[in-house]
Structure 1
Amino acid sequence: MQITIQKNNSLYLKFQAILKEAMNIIENKSHLCFDYTTNKKRNVAHSAFL
């Protein structure tokens, strides 16, 4: 029983890591879309800060 639990645990940790990476990719893509749609506003804000 302990061996199977350990195996499942490592698989679960791997799955969590993959899931986290996938979420990061989705987040980055949504940020890119957001940046693209609000690019002019952001450029104005950036030039104001600079």
Structure 2
Amino acid sequence: MSILTIILSLIFPPLAVALEKGAGKDLIINIILTLLGWLPGVIHAFYVNGK
């Protein structure tokens, strides 16, 4: 995971997921989690990008 990915995961989690995985189910899940709360979106972004 690069520094850019870490920064994007903290600031705007859906963008970090989109750059790593593209438009797919992970992006949709992350958008929903981010809308429910910032922290769930950040946790999911780190989980997806850490794989």
User: What's the TM-score, normalizing by structure 2?
Assistant: 0.28
Structure showing greater relative contact order (alpha-carbon pairs closer than 8 Å, 6 or more residues apart): 2
User: What's the TM-score, normalizing by structure 1?
Assistant: 0.28
Larger Rg computed on CA atoms? 1
